Structure formats: structure tokens, C-alpha cells
């Protein structure tokens, strides 16, 4: 399963050089993961109420090109891999106009309880979702 959404670049997303500030990309990546979870049937507030929180533990971002004010970007999010302890999302931000890749990212997430204790095994409700969504072919 792949989640895709579009985002317009606003003035507040840019830096003194007139290009998108690197932190804006991270915010869009977070939005992509949250929306992916919602598409998979998991609202993050509902998960928190079930004592499950999903913090990022590893973030690898490769900046390839910059977007500029008023550009439209496309954010794609899918699961690259998962195991009993963590899930790795693969994410890509592209220019809507040219299709050029601006950002490639791998984001590793774990499950902890509301007190910050790591689950030794991914909660069953999440593991079943990852298995179900990974079984579907990834769109090209």
C-alpha cells in the first residue's frame, strides 16, 4: 500500500535562500506517515489510547534537489520493511511539475507504551496491518 498526497510550497516553508527549508521536508514526511497510518485504519490518537506510540528512532534523508515557493510537491509513503521490533517507511518527495525526485528518505519507527517503554514485539494490531499491506503489490 502506498499513500500519495500533494503539498503546495508556502512562503513559510522556505529559507533565506528562497528554497524549501530542510525541516519543511521532515514535516511533510511526518504528514505522509500519519496519513499512511490513517489509510491503513490506525488513527494515532486511538493507538495512543491503546497504549501504543510510534516514535521515529532512525531517519536517513537524501536531499537531491530543492523545491521553491509555489511549487507543488508529491509525497509518497510506503513500508519498505518490518520485523517484530520496528517498521521502516520509505518516502519520496517529488516535483509535481517535472516528476524529479527532491528527497528520498527511510524512516524507522518502533512501538512504545505511553510511559516510553519499548515493546519487545510490535503490537499485534500493527503487525497484522504491516503484513496485510506488505502483501499488496507496490504501485510503480
Domain of 14, in residue numbers: 2-134
Strand, helix or coil for residue 36: helix
Q: pLDDT tens-digit profile of 7-29?
A: 999 999 999 999 999 999 999 99
Instruction: Please return the burial class of 96, using the count of CB atoms within 10 Å of its CB with bins 0-12, 13-18 and 19+.
Output: middle
Question: Which sequence positions are flagged as catalytic?
Answer: 15
Domain membership of residue 102 (yes or no) is: yes
Question: What single-letter DSSP state applies at residue 132?
Answer: H
Domain membership of residue 64 (yes or no) is: yes
Query: Is the whole-model pTM more than 0.85?
Result: yes
CA distance 28 to 31: 5
CA distance 116 to 112: 6
pLDDT of res. 135: 60
Domain membership of residue 93 (yes or no) is: yes
Domain membership of residue 120 (yes or no) is: yes
Residue ranges in the chain modelled with pLDDT below 70: 135-140
pLDDT of res. 134: 78
Domain membership of residue 140 (yes or no) is: no
**pLDDT > 70 in the chain, percent:** 96
Residue 129 sits in a domain whose CATH number is: 3.10.129.10
pLDDT of res. 139: 44
pLDDT of res. 140: 41
Q: 15 φ, ψ to 5°?
A: -110, -170
Domain membership of residue 139 (yes or no) is: no
Domain count, the chain: 1
Amino acid at each position: 500500500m502506498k499513500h500519495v498526497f500533494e503539498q503546495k510550497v508556502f512562503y513559510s516553508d522556505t529559507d533565506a535562500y528562497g528554497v524549501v527549508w530542510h525541516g519543511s521536508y521532515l514535516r511533510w514526511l511526518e504528514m505522509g506517515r500519519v496519513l499512511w497510518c490513517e489509510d491503513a485504519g490506525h488513527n494515532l490518537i486511538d493507538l495512543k489510547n491503546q497504549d501504543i506510540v510510534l516514535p521515529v528512532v532512525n531517519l536517513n534523508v537524501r536531499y537531491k534537489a530543492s523545491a521553491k515557493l509555489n511549487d507543488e510537491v508529491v509525497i509518497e509513503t510506503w513500508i519498505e520493511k518490518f520485523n517484530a521490533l520496528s517498521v521502516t517507511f520509505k518516502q519520496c518527495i517529488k516535483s509535481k511539475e517535472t516528476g524529479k525526485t527532491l528527497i528520498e528518505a527511510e524512516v524507522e519507527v518502533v512501538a512504545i507504551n505511553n510511559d516510553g517503554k519499548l515493546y519487545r514485539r510490535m503490537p499485534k494490531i500493527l503487525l497484522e496491518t504491516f503484513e496485510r499491506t506488505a502483501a499488496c503489490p507496490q504501485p510503480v
